[in-house]
Amino acid sequence: MAEEKKSLNFLEQIVEDDIKAGKNGGRIHTRFPPEPNGYLHIGHAKSICLNFGLADNYGGQTNLRFDDTNPVTEDTEYVESIKADVRWLGFEWENELYASDYFDQIYDFAVTLIKKGLAYVDDQASDMIAAQKGSPTVPGEESPFRYRTIEENLDLFERMKAGEFADGEKVLRAKIAMDHPNMHMRDPLIYRIKHATHHRTGNKWCIYPMYDFAHGQCDSIEEITHSVCTLEFDVHRPLYDWFIEKLGIFPSKQYEFARLNLSHTVMSKRRLLQLVNEKIVSGWDDPRMPTISGLRRRGFTPASIRNFCEKIGIAKRDNLIDVGVLDFCVREDLNKSAARVMAVLDPLKVVITNYPEGQTELLSIENNPEDIESGKREVPFSRELYIEREDFMEVPAKKFFRLGPGLMVRLKGAYIIQCDDFVKDAAGNVTEIHCSYVPNSRSGEDTSGLNVKGVIHWVSIEHAITAEVRNYDRLLIIEDSSQVGDQFKKFLNPESLTVIPQVFVEPSLKDAEIGKSVQFMRKGYYCLDPDTTADKLIFNRTVSLKDTWAKEKNK
RNA sequence: UGACCGAUGGUGUAAUGGUAACACUACGGUUUUUGGUACCGUCAUUCAUGGUUCGAGUCCAUGUCGGUUGACCA
């Protein structure tokens, strides 16, 4: 019995060590903690797969917890989209929770801190507080309000809660050390006044805890064992631990991993929002967006995204993953499942001169050579066809295995044809080509003995239906958007969306379902966009097929 | 210029002191009624220097480079 040793990432290692040491009775409990102020993106998918995966693999549970401590920016619209996206990715949470569920408890935690002399109300304006913070190399100064009595702090904090003060008039701060080398430990703000309506608690509260005084407390209340977050929270960990220790509550532990950076796109919520607000994209679900909803509309499958997250790994060093990896994952998945169909995107008319006028025959073509179970469909063939313009060359290049004067190709699932002649317009463009077919070369019953190298796709003009095609490509022309900051808009790819208003597709596509992926043979994977109407089919390109001829051609 | 984190092929991720591996990309080739898929092959003395050790990618020290961190955001 060959024992295959699966290599562990550093978090799995920690979890296994903890289980071995009997920590928390061997219990594993993680959480995915989005703030409901934006849509989920592929970076969140990495975190979702990590948190749910860790729990799944070690018999644990995962909570979905909305980090809703800032009523000004948060909304239920986002809550709903986040839930839908997590489910679509294939995960089911143990408990649906909200930081706002714990506002009473967190308030009590603050009171506890005040009573221990570890928190105080500061009356200063934010710029004053900021000035007193000092800098990484210069110690901060203590607030003149730092040594108020416990009674006074208790009274003031209660009156903050009661709504006696305006926004910004007072804050509650933890009393740690103004000369701490870690800036986050210099008496951080833990409560602020915001007279705003919260999406869940309405107007019950006018004070709200800050992230640092909410996240770890929620983790602790839920007895989360492994609180996994991204690297930038590393510097918050001493504070995370400080609150838990001073409060004497369940000791959740925080661990940090490197967030996903994807090439040729932007990932920060702020920049994605900018693309939406400035109408550079059509919305959060624009197929060019790295959002889960954008990827879904683009035609990515949940399995392809999960595989992607598995493939890129978990570590602590900064990384930049090439979008090509995502392309690979979706091709890998769709290759097995997507039905093959024929679509001509850039038509060139072909007349089969020796095929009877008015005759039609139905050819039976397999739906997917990778999946015999998928069966066959009937495709109509007739005298006049469209083929792809790029499949004909007036003066064929070396190694061009398609049509040109005197050259032969197989029409996929049909006959072998030979190009006899072509017609040009006044401008010198080829407008149609004349071919003759080999009657005994019909696919599956070929007795011609001919062996042609090229196989091309086609549609019967008489039977074809039309559709709009939206070809998507990478959002940016540069790999690493982190190097250009807010200048990223200067590097938008003008070809991130190319619309082809009218293409010709085989009639079976009349019954295409929204969101279902198909392969346009020799072109790429496409899926029907929700913008589709009764009289207009719209297909999004998920990803093109690999094209080694494109490379050969450019040699 | 403080604190913290990191450094392994073009890109990611492994190797848990004992022969540097896997995937993607790229480049060759085989198969193919998709120039797709599948399959085969090619591409590395682990940032530098010193130390510990029989043995170091791994441990220690110093340096270099990169990242994070100073919102009444999370």
Write down all domains in chain A, each with its CATH number in brackets.
10-257 (3.40.50.620), 262-339+467-553 (1.10.1160.10), 343-457 (2.40.240.10)
Residue with tokens 């004067």: A405
Is A554's CB less than 7 Å from nucleic acid strand B?
no
Give the mean model confidence (pLDDT) for residues A230-239: 97
Mean pLDDT of the A306-328 span: 97
Mean pLDDT throughout A471-498? 95
| A308-327 residues near strand B (Cβ < 7 Å) | 311-322, 324-325
Q: How many residues are present in chain A? A: 555
Residue A124 contacts strand B, CB under 7 A: yes
**Sheet with A119-122: strands ordered across:** A119-122, A171-174, A189-193, A207-209
The answer to whether some atom of strand B lies closer than 7 Å to the beta carbon of A70 is yes
Predicted pLDDT of residue A7: 86
**What confidence score (pLDDT) does residue A1 get?**
32
Which DSSP category does A222 fall into? T
Cβ atoms < 10 Å from Cβ of A6:
7
Could you give phi then psi for residue A235, rounded to 5 degrees?
A: -70, -10
Report DSSP state, residue A101.
G
Q: How far is Cα A323 from Cα A330, in angstroms, rounded to an integer?
A: 11
CB A186 within 8 A of CB A143: no
Contact predicate A496/A288, CB 8 Å: yes
Which nucleotide is closest to A314, CA to C1'? B13
Name every residue whose Cβ is closer than 8 Å to that of residue A291 and which is 6 or more positions away in sequence: A39, A40, A41, A42, A272, A284, A285
Rg (CA), chain A: 31
CB A96 within 7 Å, strand B: no
**Residue type present at position A228:** V
For B26, nearest residue by CA–C1' is A551
Catalytic sites of A, residue numbers: 35, 259, 269
The answer on pLDDT for A420 being more than 70 is: yes
Mean pLDDT confidence for A272-284: 95
Question: For A124-173, how does the pLDDT look when each residue is reduced to its tens digit (9 = 90+)?
Answer: 999 999 999 999 999 999 999 999 999 999 999 999 999 999 999 999 99
Pairing of strands A430-437, A416-424: antiparallel
Return the percentage of chain A with pLDDT > 70, whole number. Answer: 99
Task: Give me chain A's average pLDDT, please.
Answer: 96
Among protein residues, the one whose C-alpha sits closest to the C1' atom of B69 is A235
Contact A345, A523 (CB under 8 A): yes
C-alpha span between A46 and A229 (Å, rounded): 11
Torsion of Cα atoms, A411 then A414 then A417 then A423, to 10°:
-60
Give the end-to-end CA distance of chain A in Å, rounded to a whole number: 51
Nearest to A160 by CA among A198, A197, A206, A124: A206
Determine if the pTM surpasses 0.90: yes
Residues 6+ apart with CB under 8 A from A1: none
A154 contacts A102 by C-beta, under 8 angstroms? no
pLDDT in tens, A58-103: 999 999 999 999 999 999 999 999 999 999 999 999 999 999 999 9
**A103: part of which helix (H) or strand (E)?**
helix A103-115
